């Protein structure tokens, strides 16, 4: 392998390592949130509003900056993110509350119930630093009522855990597409490929 290829592989793996760390922290936080309330699911535990979603992050993560509803400076400004195809991201669904957490990653959480999904979470594993590409350092992930952290499907009606086939379908139809207003599906591909960025 050439040096540039080795460096690229190393960088991709470092993004996945950081994403996996945040995934584990979110999973542990969801279990703790539900257990502390002695609830059967996250809705019963009280995760039913944007304020509750904010409290969830603020309680279980070490927040070093809270940008509230302002995207910047916690995340790069609008127009700076692109998809794998090169298309500029044009949407950033609201409501979202934006944070920088210890370690330098940025997290935005929005209470956005869709089927069994309760919260949509955007994670930029290296904050303001580039490359600012969905599927490289930026990911959309979802917190489900049953505490699972997973992707969502094309119709946003998935249950978790998603099947490998549904994750692959979402990856093909959304993550790799030219559509600028929809950009999940990359996270599920990484789960399918045993926490490796194979694309």
Q: 171-196 pLDDT, tens per residue? A: 999 999 999 999 999 999 999 999 99
The stretches of the chain forming alpha helices (DSSP H) are 3-36, 42-45, 50-60, 164-170, 186-192
Query: What pLDDT score was predicted for residue 4?
Result: 63
The stretches of 125-173 forming alpha helices (DSSP H) are 164-170
Residue 2 pLDDT > 80? no
Query: What pLDDT score was predicted for residue 5?
Result: 66
d(CA 136, CA 130): 9
* For residues 128-147, average pLDDT: 97
């Amino acid at each position: 392998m050439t040096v540039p290829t080795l460096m690229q592989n190393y960088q991709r793996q470092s993004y996945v390592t950081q994403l996996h760390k945040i995934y584990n922290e979110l999973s542990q936080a969801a279990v703790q949130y539900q257990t502390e309330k002695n609830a059967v699911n996250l809705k019963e535990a009280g995760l039913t509003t944007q304020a509750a979603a904010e409290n969830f992050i603020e309680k279980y993560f070490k927040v070093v900056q809270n940008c509230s509803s302002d995207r910047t400076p916690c995340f790069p400004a609008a127009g700076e993110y692109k998809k794998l195809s090169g298309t500029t991201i044009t949407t950033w669904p609201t409501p979202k509350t934006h944070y920088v957490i210890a370690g330098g990653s940025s997290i935005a959480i929005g209470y956005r119930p869709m089927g069994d999904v309760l919260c949509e979470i955007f994670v930029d594993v290296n904050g303001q630093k580039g490359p600012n590409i969905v599927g490289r350092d930026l990911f959309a992930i979802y917190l489900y009522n049953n505490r699972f952290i997973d992707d969502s499907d094309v119709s946003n009606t998935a249950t978790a855990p998603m099947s490998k086939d549904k994750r692959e379908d979402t990856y093909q139809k959304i993550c790799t597409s030219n559509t600028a207003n929809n950009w999940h599906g990359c996270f599920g591909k990484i789960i399918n490929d045993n926490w490796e960025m194979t694309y």
